[in-house]
Structure 1
Amino acid sequence: IDRALALDPNAFEPLEVKAKLAIAEKGDFSVAEKAFAAVKSIPMSDEQKLKTASSRADVFFLERKYREGLQESESLPDDLLAGLPGAMGGKYYLIGFARKALHDEPGARAAFLKAKSAIEEQLKRSPDTVEAHIQLAKVLAYLNEKDSALAEAQRATELVPESKDAFGGPEIAGGVAEVHAILGDNDRAIEILDGLLSRPSAVTVQSLKVNPIWDPLRNDPRFQDLLNKYGGKA
């Protein structure tokens, strides 16, 4: 990554990868902040602009800057998002997450319902899109539709089992753990996370520390024990 950036300090993809690694491995947001500053001067396609804005919103949420993240998410234009698979559902999921964090329950529910509708439309066109199933599972969990949420999570697991996909499978398992955390099933969420931390996956102790999606688990002593077991304290 550093070699690629030495050749082109403003290369879009290496900047993104380096920023994500810094957060996942060290909980360090400074690399992402520098990357966002750098790309402001880079000519980008509409798709790259949308991706950058979405990533900017994601990092705001990780930093718990919910108002800034909400503003960034709401600025994403629906007409451009409509042509990108999953983008519309992603936008309204982020808005729902931000509004819930800001204790705006009616606003959060309205956004999650929009996300649900957008993702269901996507799945009508592409029923085996695993990312859409796991995203829908999280949306349904926030809408307190437990049985439907678990069914979508199960469908995602069936589409990309770890036994057949050593990279995508753990990523989906992480999403399933999020669903259980949202639903308040700490036992199952922690059990899945324990397994993911014990084998190669994108889940790291630092990512568990910084990501507010895991806040429902944060006061559970077993979650703290999990972080201690794999090398860190919350």
Structure 2
Amino acid sequence: KLKQAEQLYERALQLDPNFALAAASYSRLQSWIYHTYEPNADRREKSRALADRALQLQPDLPEGHLALGFSIYYVDRDYDRALAEFALAQKGLPNEAEAYLAIGAIQRRQGKWDESNANLEKAAGLSPNETWPLQNLVLNYQMLRKFDLANKTVDRALKLAPDSFSLWSIKSQLETSEKGTFEIAERGVEALKSRPMDDETKIHFEVSLVQIRLLQRRYAEALQLTSSLKDEALAKDPEGLMGKYGAIGIAKKLLGDEVGAREAFLKAKGYAEKFVADAPNEAKRHDPLAECLAWLGEKEAAIAEAKRATELLPESVDAFDGPVCTRTLAEIYMIVGEYDKALPIIDGLLTRPTQV
């Protein structure tokens, strides 16, 4: 769908090179792809050039400022400059959710949780038929461990999209985070099994189910599920293949198959190394490699890789994603047997808003 959208925007700008709104929307698409999938120079340059083009064509275009704000936010990670652009967009789009959503997303990275919640709630109110603002708000409440509010909010979203796989996944994660149980996950699994899914959704469903089975220590089932996933189906997702073989490795190791586990972890390591090499300054790309190294017994390399992630994205810079890297460092210490170093990190994560 993203590729199709790119083609449509390209065609629109070919037909009308002065179509400022199309340039702004195309810039936002490039910024999102950079942020989510392909953090490379080509996406970065397109993101900024298209935003600049939109504002050159129409300097007061609110959507142009929104596009430039996303480029600065996602690509440069300059929160103050991005907020300034979003504020300009907000003046021109006072009844649109997007600027409030963007501002709220930045504020949580700054650790301004109350302000972030207020802006995300405002976005949800301005866009009552959309689930994305609510989904973002749920993540805030989850990190704040306000599970009652998180569940009420995800239920609001589920009323709008009762068959949404991502929303049911979030709801099951909330249950596991709060109670350590899997009742919602199991109900969701049974319900979704009988419903038609496109190939992409089916893969996400099966990958999520593997993670649930690993958490439940149902390793044989996890192994069976993971082994059934075809490499070709996962090839489009840069994290898919390393996730598959990492899960196979964990399941086999915990089932006592050391040789099979090592073989799987070596495959996962190869994919993880390429994943890092493609974007070495992306902090969270170092985490899967650290995990592979830890399971392979490469202790010092694993710790160094996990520490590199926390250096690239410290919590002082990003209070939303930074804790993910901190948590991974604790996990690495646990895998390699450095429990005295892991436990203080976990204790710290439990004292502030995090995913733990």
Q: Please confirm whether the aligned pair reaches a TM-score higher than 0.5, indicating the same fold.
A: yes
Partner residue of 2:174 out of 10, 13, 21: 21
**1:62 is aligned to 2:210:** no
1:12 aligns with one of 159, 165, 168? 165
**Aligned with residue 338 of structure 2, among 185, 204, 222:** 185
Q: Which residue of 2 aligns with 1:174?
A: 327
- Separation in 2, partners of 1:174, 1:151: 14
The 8 Å contact of residues 269 and 293 in structure 2, kept in 1 or not, is answered as yes
CA deviation string 1:95-135 (max 9, x = no partner): 00000110111111111000000111222222233332111
CA gap 1:27/1:42 in 2 versus in 1, 3 angstroms: same
Alignment of 1:122-133 (within 5 A): 122-133=275-286
Is structure 2 residue 234 aligned with structure 1 residue 89? no
Among 242, 263, 278, the residue aligned to 1:110: 263
Instruction: Give the alignment partner of residue 230 of structure 2, picking from 69, 72, 77.
Output: 77
2:231 partner amino acid: D
How far apart are the structure 1 equivalents of 2:271 and 2:281?
A: 15
- Contact 1:60 1:69 (C-alpha < 8 Å) held by counterparts: yes
Q: Is the 8 A contact 2:265 2:295 kept in 1?
A: yes
TM superposition score normalised by structure 2: 0.55
Identical residues among aligned pairs (%): 47
Cα deviation for residue 150 of structure 1 reads: 1.4
- Structure 1 residues 148-159: aligned runs within 5 Å: 148-159=301-312
If the length of structure 1 is used for normalisation, what is the TM-score?
0.83
| Aligned residue number for residue 207 of structure 1 | none
**How large is the Cα RMSD of the aligned pairs?**
1.2
- 1:90 positional shift: 0.7
**For residue 35 of structure 1, what is the amino acid of its counterpart?**
G
Structure 2 unmatched runs, 5+: 1-153
Alpha-carbon separation, structure 1, partners of 2:280 and 2:242: 15
Q: Which has the larger radius of gyration?
A: 2
Instruction: Provide the C-alpha distance between the structure 2 equivalents of 1:133 and 1:4, rounded to a whole number of angstroms.
Output: 33
How many pairs were matched up? 203
Question: Greater relative contact order (Cα 8 A, min sep 6): structure 1 or 2?
Answer: 1
Q: How many angstroms apart in 2 are the aligned matches of 1:41 and 1:171?
A: 34
Q: 1:136 and 2:276 equivalent?
A: no
Task: Give me the whole-angstrom Cα distance separating, in 1, the residues matched to 2:162 and 2:198.
Answer: 18
The offset of 1:200, in angstroms, is 0.9
